[in-house]
Structure 1
């Protein structure tokens, strides 16, 4: 009853073998209907030092992002990355990388749903995500091993298959850029269909971020994309994380309106590039948690 298309949700339950076959052939209908569990994950990205990492953890963030992309103002060294990991591990009272035991489901969307539940449970103690963009698998694996990263996030044009654990050595989040017109704020009419048809079983999760038409590489724009795209993708069963232009002032509205599975913020909680404003971090996390409770009413 909560699904945008109850008929499709019933078919997704696979009560008839024919429905199962259709789900396997068409990823846009797999997974048993709309995602309805609400906002479960908060990621604070662009962390460069232990103090900011500790505040993010204390505030209630699930994922702590460290960026290894050279062009980024928030790029960290191996030593900085390791220091953040050590802080997060100490906070979570653990001494080793958290290993995610992911299911092996039939369709890509079913896989995303199973992965989401595992990540929710595993990130109750914060995890560290290393962010990379068009960098070699060898470099990614080196940073994973040297810093002790729990997860990675691929932010370039590497493709879905590049997120395989066999390539990255740990589960990987795949960033999907929403190509947005800077004047109208609109994305392509086929954006949702294109994304759903591109999903494979390789990524741990999907993160939607803004890219600006005409620019070569997306991400880090500080611009909101049309969040109805996220809502439509979740109505097809895929839990998504949203990023791009979020701050303590607007993220609560996004949660109430779209109920995304996850929220990712970077520049919106900074005092300066690479340095977090601790009061903004706390306000952001508190606001998301409060808005998630409000958005869940009636579900």
Structure 2
């Protein structure tokens, strides 16, 4: 999310978690101040996730001052055990599965909207010692089938619910959540 407005729309649409990109070359990356505003504004029942592609411990230290519920980090960035956050590690198809985190996210698109590798995602879900989150190329039109096919613990969407880069579309967010909920657990 890049704004409080979009984050509140996502929560109203039924999103379980709100991700904010920080310390990243992404056009969706926001400042610590904007991230703080978003995290403070959302419901205490929505999980806040600070997302970074930075492998710099100093960037992570700054991000942790926001006190998100979880951080999504590159595979090898060390997160202090006493940080008080859940750790989601990003996996690429060449990366080994990880057990030193609370979840892994399978996404080879990194916010570009490219589709995920379905077979790789299935193998990850089958073999992972921790929950797998599926991302990459998901949108309201394909998310239900992706969930049925892969059976991830959760799904993550970015560009698939945008009106423009960094600007969420309320109609698409509602349609995405509705599509997710049509799949039997």
| TM-score w.r.t. length of structure 1 | 0.57
Q: For residues 165 and 107 of structure 2, what CA distance do their matches in structure 1 show?
A: 19
Aligned residue in 2 for 1:220: 111
Q: Distance in 1 between matches of 2:29 and 2:84?
A: 21
Contact conserved, 2:132 with 2:153, CA < 8 A, in 1?
yes
Distance 2:29 2:127 in 1: 35
SS in 2 for 1:248: coil
SS at match of 2:27: coil
SS of alignment partner, residue 6 of structure 2: helix
Does the Cα contact within 8 Å between 1:140 and 1:168 map onto a contact in 2? no
Q: Distance in 1 between matches of 2:159 and 2:92?
A: 17
Structure-1 residue corresponding to 2:149: 257
Indicate the structure whose relative CO is greater, using CA pairs within 8 Å and at least 6 residues apart.
Answer: 1
Name the Cα RMSD after superposition. 2.0
Q: Which is helix-richer, 1 or 2?
A: 1
Q: In 2, distance between residues paired with 1:165 and 1:254?
A: 33
CA contact (8 A) 1:137 1:167 kept: no
Corresponding residue to 1:203 among 101, 104, 118: 101
Mapped contact 2:92–2:108 kept (Cα < 8 A): yes
Q: 1:233 aligns with which of 124, 134, 143?
A: 124
Aligned partners of 2:87 and 2:102 also within 8 Å: yes
Query: Equivalents in 1 of 2:140, 2:162: separation in Å?
Result: 11
Residue 12 of structure 1: aligned partner: none
Which residue matches 2:73?
154
SS in 2 for 1:286: helix
- In structure 1, distance between residues paired with 2:73 and 2:52: 5
* Residue aligning to 2:91: 176
Query: Is residue 271–residue 277 contact of structure 1 (8 Å, CA) maintained in 2?
Result: yes
Residues 134 and 237 of structure 1, relative CA distance in 2, 3 Å threshold: closer
2:57·2:78 contact (CA, 8 Å) conserved in 1? no
Q: Distance in 2 between matches of 1:71 and 1:237?
A: 29
Count of residue pairs brought into register by the alignment: 184
Partner SS for 1:265? coil
1:1-299, aligned counterparts within 5 Å?
Answer: 47-88=1-42, 91-92=43-44, 125-145=45-65, 147-155=66-74, 158-159=75-76, 162-166=77-81, 170-178=85-93, 195-196=96-97, 199-200=98-99, 202-210=100-108, 219-236=110-127, 238=129, 239-291=131-183, 293=184, 296=185
Does structure 1 retain, via aligned residues, the 8 Å contact 2:113–2:159? yes
Per-residue deviation at 1:69?
Answer: 3.1
Give, in angstroms, the shift of residue 74 of structure 1: 0.7
Deviations 1:243-297 (A, max 9, x none): 1111111111101222211101000000111110011001101110112x2xx4x
Q: Does the 8 Å CA contact 1:63/1:127 hold for their aligned counterparts? A: yes
Aligned partners of 1:168 and 1:134: how far apart in 2? Answer: 17
Deviation at 1:224, TM superposition (A): 1.2
Choose 1 or 2 for highest CA Rg: 1
